Structure 1
Amino acid sequence: MYSTFHGLETARRAMNAHQAAIHTTGNNIANANTEGYSRQRVNFTQETPFPNPGRNAPRIPGQIGTGVKADSVQRIRENYLDIQFRGENAQAGYWEKSHDIYTRIEDLMNEPSDNSIGRTLDRFWQSLQDLSVHPEDEGARSVVRQRGVALADTFNYISDSLEANRQDLKKEMDTTQKEVNSMLEQINELNKQIARVEPHGHLPNKLYDERDLLIDRLSGMINIEVERNESKGQAVAAAEGTVDIFLLNEEGDRLTTESAGETQEVMVINGESGSYESLSITFGEDATSVSEVAFGNTQLDDLINSSPGKIQALVKGYGYDFGDGVSGVYPELLKDLDEMVHDFAVEFNKVHQSGVGLDGSDEVNFYSGIDMVNTDNATNASATIRVSEEIMEDLKNIAAASKTAEGDEGYAGDGSNALNLAAVKDKVDVQGTYQGIIGDLAVKTMEAGQMRDNTGNLKESIEFNRQQVSSVSLDEEMTNLIQFQHAFNAAARNITMVDEMLDRIINNMGIVGR
């Protein structure tokens, strides 16, 4: 026979369970705007009914329920959406940073504008055309020198600015490396805390949220896969365990390395052992390129070519050399610019040397700061080109005349070599080469912009679906609050009713005839 006071205990349990639900709902409302917070719910389960089935069970109509209990407070997450989001976040991180790199270069090149290389070249060619008409005019010669200086200064400025932007990328790489290592350390520490709590039957929802938020941020830096480990001890079914984190390639497969003749997957966090591998980025001796990217002792050349994320975009932008020569956005652009400037200056100097100045001077270079001996060496040409000292010291050294022209005026009326100098424009096709560089840059910027938008939109779509599952809806929470409040009030009313029944039995029975 069940106890006379059975109803009180059943109602008490109901009040406690729904009070826990009200507190959990209040916590959801309080954290509605907390980044990374996942809404929580109380899992209600029935208490063991009375009596248990058996041969000696009392003869009553059936089992009598003994109430409800708040079994656990569980956060609401959808693991599949988390996997989707992190994969797309890596792509979005790569294309967002790539587009940022190309946009900075476009802004620097400043095409088309009055101060661009293209417009400066046009003015220089025009000054040579004007000089061919008035080769003896000091003003025309001064304009040629000024515009030659302006052209060299523009080349210098573009080269120096590109290199400055490149060094900014190096600083950003250093900062991002520290961020990645900080996140890895924090995730590893959270793994350890979770492993200490779960075996005692607790659900550390706050730790889960903190860990998932860090993993989400990490996924924008490197392409990762998260694998959960089974919880130990007396962990409840909803426990999420520690996590292992692996690096993935562009196809979504785990990156592997060869070690002692064995193929091993690259694990950056080991939840079972409570350890992690730090990211290191090593630069070459002259610091002009990245020479090594590694996690711990595992060198990852494949990370640059196959694993998307912000780190990959930064390394590709700055430049890298893993034994096959320097590659990357800035090194390749500077190389193209140096070769263009070098070819232009070498050809221009050759034509200038073939001419004669007003005072009969010949074999004079118009430009210096480039290698005229080894004409294949274009290294840093755009950074070092300048108008030669001979031209800067004396305008008469500008070779507007040809050596075949002779007369009493000392070549004063001959502007044929000035025309030859102007023809260098077509001979080495500086304009065409430069427009090719600009055109290629524009295409890459547009492509990166489109991919940034596409991956960003897809990431936002997945994030919207995640928020539909995990975020706090104030309307829904208010509905739950009313529902739990009514259940709590009903349980309290039940206690009042049972109390009245007991009062009748205790105080108002067995007094007949008094």
Structure 2
Amino acid sequence: MASLMGSLYIGASGLQTSQNALNTTAHNMSNIDTEGYTRQQVSQGTRPYITTEKDFRIISWKQTGLGVVYNNCKQVRSLFLDQSYRQEAGREAFYDVSVTTLEEIEDQLQEMNGVEFAESMENLWVAVQEMSKNPTNAVNQSTLITRANEFITRAKSVYEGFTNYQDNMNTKVANLVDEINKIGDRIKELNLNIVEIESGHQEHANDLRDERNLLLDRLGELGRISYYEDTFGNVLVQFEGTQFVTTDHVNHMGCDNVLPADKGGSPVGYNTPYWEFAGKKTYDDVLQEWVITDIRGAKVFDLQQTVSTAMNTDIGELRSTLLARGDHHATYHDITDDATGNYYNKNIAQSVIMNVEAEFDQMIKNMCTAINKVFEEAGSNPVTLGEVSGLTSDYDLFKVLNEEDCLNYDIDDEHKAGQNRKGYIITNIGINPMYLEEPTSMKFYLADGSEDQATVEKLKAAFTTADYVINPNVATKTDFVGYYNMLVSQVANSGDVYKGIQSNQELTVSAVANAREQIVGVSSDEELEFMIEFQNAFNASSRYINVVSEMLEHIVSALGR
């Protein structure tokens, strides 16, 4: 009788365990399309046996089982695949930003409201050639001024497109830093919840762990991370080699856009990510709080490091955005002010936008300088320029719009390479108002009344003389048209390289993601098989209880007679 009552307990354990297994399977099925969900698996075991007799002469002792037990509901994940996915996804995000930035630059160079910038260069060159046919013709002279003005206007539009995109990326930097901080705060909160739930060793916070893993996936896309789970269930995270999430604290990042360059800030107010705990602080009596005054030892990234897969310096959307954006609006000064090229290679070459800005500005500066030189030399002949009085420099075709910004940077120690300086740069150049008011001010007549063909030939030579290099790393000299073609080719070639790396990286990420999905993903066919299996087990336990119940009923009925 007692044995039969125990058998009822065994059947009840089967019912309970099968029902829990069915609930887990249903939970898997309901979350089959949930992002970041990890398939949960049921682990079953036997309850302790009751030993009724021990006899060491036989193989098995006499024991009575107590049924089945629902041990736990576990998640199966591969730590290796998780780490690989997060690292490769971060590398893919890095090159995604590079490709997107280069595509934007190509759009700016090739199309401005449907008109290629190269067309304005070609039109200016054609105007010079037409001048050589009849330099004294008023129509040709007016066309030259018109084309020169069109050239400068479109050049400014291209450069403005670069700087606007650069400013947009600066906003993106602040948004990414804010997202990283929020992810850190949420991971810390999830750590506390998971530890609280699992501290009794009775439950597993699987859904919370799924959310935490999803956050780690996203954090891996944003930057280079490392992490581990301690014995209590907390995940401790490092971001770019610095402790980010601890058991009870999150080291937040800040974005400095105020500090001057000599205090570690950006010279034009660009956002510079830094660790708030590591920044030098000073107490502000007015604000009555501690404020950051120096971030030189607290920067999150060293952007002068060589971008290398071997060194893992090509991981993360934030690093790539900072590299592509740079830290100021670059000009030709960033190329020419350091004859060794060291500054250019360390601070400009790795930034996609700054590199193109500097090279493009240098091209415009060289063209304006060469043309102005011809006009200045012709300025010694008052007949050529008409009856215009004044200094020779007043005869320049291109003028600095704000003379106060035109400083002597070679002897002014206050202005170093990398500062957002003005002077003779594309944003501060315009057509001499004298020619805008009177396009025929240059008569192109010599003292003897003949055409000044020599000046026109010098203008043609200014366009065709191969006397310019695109940057310190290129030794081949070229003319203006060749310079621009080299600039466009450089962007296109870099784009092809980055697109190739991006395509390979997509394949790598896809392969790792598929391998991981085979482990953590939910298969509807497999879950339906489990559901049928557990349903049959439930029915079997139910029939078992019915049989035991009938036996008990029969015994009771028989004894009662």
TM-score (norm 2): 0.79
2:268 to 287, 292, 298: 287
Task: Give me the whole-angstrom Cα distance separating, in 2, the residues matched to 1:444 and 1:295.
Answer: 36
Does structure 2 retain, via aligned residues, the 8 Å contact 1:304–1:312? no
Q: Is the 8 A contact 1:113 1:119 kept in 2?
A: no
Contact 2:54 2:62 in 1 (8 A): no
Q: What's 1:37 paired with?
A: 37
1:177–1:280 contact (8 Å) kept in structure 2: yes
Q: 1:52 to 1:148 in 2, by over 3 A?
A: farther
Aligned residue in 2 for 1:63: 63
The 3 A distance-change label for structure 1 pair 443 and 52 is farther
TM alignment of 1:172-183, pairs within 5 A = 172-183=172-183
| Counterpart Cα distance in 2 of 1:11 and 1:399 | 112
Residue 301 of structure 1 deviates from its aligned partner by 3.9
Superposition RMSD on alpha carbons, in Å? 2.7
Give the fraction of aligned pairs with identical amino acids, expressed as a percent. 22
Q: Report the counterpart of residue 197 of structure 1 in structure 2.
A: 197
Letter matched to residue 68 of structure 2: V
Equivalent AA in structure 2 for residue 317 of structure 1 = A
- Aligned to 2:199, what secondary structure does the other structure show? helix
Match of 1:406 in 2: 447
Which of 343, 352, 357 aligns to 1:329? It is 352
Inter-partner Cα distance in structure 2 for 1:395 and 1:380: 23
Paired position in structure 2 for 1:296? 277
Change (3 A) 1:460 1:270: same
Asked if the contact 2:41/2:75 (under 8 Å) is kept, the reply is yes
- Aligned-residue offset at 1:52: 6.7
- 1:244: which partner in 2? 236
Q: Residue 391 of structure 1: SS of its match in structure 2? A: helix
Over 3 Å counting, the alpha-carbon distance change for 1:62 and 1:108 in structure 2 is same
1 CA distance for matches of 2:303 and 2:501? 20
Aligned to 1:124: 124
> What SS class does the counterpart of residue 115 from structure 2 fall into?
coil
What CA distance in whole angstroms lies between the structure 1 residues aligned with 2:541 and 2:193?
38
Rounded to whole Å, the distance in 2 between the matches of 1:73 and 1:200 is: 15
1:351 to 2:382 alignment:
no
* 2:438 is the counterpart of 1:394: yes
Q: Distance in 2 between matches of 1:112 and 1:423?
A: 28
The correspondence of residues 3-18 of structure 1 with structure 2, limited to 5 A, is 3-18=3-18
Say which SS state the counterpart of residue 42 (structure 1) adopts. strand
**Secondary structure at 2:227 match in 1:** strand
Q: Which amino acid aligns with 2:155?
A: F
- 1:442 positional shift: 1.3
Return the letter of the residue paired with 2:492. Answer: A
Letter in structure 2 aligned against 1:501? M
**Matching residue within 334, 342, 346 for 2:365:** 342
1:312 aligns with 2:319: yes
Separation (CA, whole Å) in 2 of partners of 1:380 and 1:451: 38
Matched residue, 2:339: none
Gaps of 5+ in 1: 232-240, 249-254, 256-265
Q: Find the aligned partners of 2:272 and 2:10 in 1 and give their Cα distance.
A: 70
CA distance in structure 1 between the partners assigned to 2:87 and 2:27 by the alignment: 31
- What is aligned with 1:171? 171
CA pair 292-30 structure 1, distance change in 2 beyond 3 A: closer
Shift in Å at residue 132 of structure 1? 1.8
Instruction: Name 1:251's counterpart in structure 2.
Output: none
1:382 and 2:426 are equivalent in the alignment: yes
Post-superposition offset of 1:496:
0.8
Distance in 1 of aligned mates of 2:148 and 2:443: 14
Q: Displacement of 1:290 after TM fit?
A: 5.3
Q: Which residues of structure 2 form unaligned runs of 5+? A: 258-264, 279-297, 306-312, 329-341, 411-420, 468-478
Change (3 A) 1:385 1:115: farther
CA distance in structure 2 between the partners assigned to 1:398 and 1:174 by the alignment: 52
Contact 1:352-1:399 at 8 Å conserved across structures = no
Q: Is the 8 A contact 2:397 2:431 kept in 1?
A: yes
Q: CA deviation at 1:302?
A: 3.1
Distance 1:285 1:215, change over 3 A: closer
Contact map agreement 2:8 2:545 (CA 8 A) in 1: yes
Shift in CA distance, 347/23, structure 1 to aligned 2, threshold 3 Å:
same
CA distance in 2, matches of 1:508, 1:192: 60
User: Could you give the per-residue CA deviations for residues 88-143 of structure 1, whole angstroms, max 9, x where no partner exists?
Assistant: 11111111111111111111111799833322112111111111212222211121
User: Partner letter of residue 219 of structure 1?
Assistant: G
Query: For residue 397 of structure 2, what is the amino acid of its counterpart?
Result: F
- For residues 400 and 281 of structure 1, do their structure 2 counterparts lie closer, same or farther at Cα, with a shift above 3 Å needed? farther
Alignment deviations for residues 355-393 of structure 1 (CA, whole Å, 9 cap, x no partner) = 254625483111112788859798661222221101101
1:51, distance to aligned residue in structure 2 (A):
2.2
- Mapped partners of 2:314, 2:192: distance in 1: 28
Instruction: Name the SS for the 2:19 alignment partner.
Output: helix
Contact 1:399-1:417 within 8 A present in 2 as well: no
Q: Is the 8 A contact 1:338 1:378 kept in 2?
A: no
Code of the aligned partner of 2:195: A
Match for 1:270 among 228, 234, 246?
246
Give the number of equivalent residue pairs: 474
Closer/same/farther in 2, CA of residues 104 and 3 from structure 1, 3 Å limit: same
Q: Which residue does the alignment assign to 2:147?
A: 147
Question: Which residue identity is paired with 2:141?
Answer: R
Q: 2:73, 2:452 → 1: CA distance? A: 94
Number of the residue aligned with 1:500: 550
**Aligned pair in 2 of structure 1 residues 285, 67: CA closer, same or farther (>3 Å)?**
closer
Letter in 2 for 1:387: I
Cα 1:196–1:53 change in 2 (3 A) is: farther
The alpha-carbon deviation at position 53 of structure 1 amounts to 6.8
User: Structure 1, residues 289-309: CA drift from partner, whole Å, max 9, x if none?
Assistant: 555533632433436633620
Amino acid at match of 2:254: S
Q: Which amino acid aligns with 2:220?
A: S
Distance of aligned partners of 1:349 and 1:159 in 2 relative to their CA distance in 1, 3 Å threshold: same
Displacement of 1:288? 5.5
Q: What does 1:430-449 correspond to in 2, within 5 Å?
A: 430-449=480-499
Which of 456, 459, 462 is the equivalent residue of 1:418?
456
The CA deviation at 1:46 is: 0.5
User: 1:368 maps to what in 2?
Assistant: 399
Deviations 1:319-364 (A, max 9, x none): 148x967432222221222222112111210101222546254831
CA distance in 1: counterparts of 2:367 and 2:543, whole angstroms = 95
SS at match of 2:63: coil
- CA apart distance, 1:3: 2.9
Distance 1:375 1:443 in 2: 33
Q: 1:193 to 1:82 in 2, by over 3 A?
A: same
Describe the shift of the 1:375–1:12 C-alpha distance in structure 2 as closer, same or farther (beyond 3 A). closer
Q: Is the 8 A contact 2:4 2:548 kept in 1?
A: no
AA in 1 matched with 2:539:
N
Equivalent position amino acid for 2:277 in 1: G
Q: Among residues 518, 526, 544, which one is paired with 1:476 in the alignment?
A: 526
For 1:161 and 1:282, locate their aligned partners in 2 and report how far apart those are by CA, in whole Å.
24
Does the Cα contact within 8 Å between 1:280 and 1:296 map onto a contact in 2? no
TM superposition shift of 1:414 = 3.3
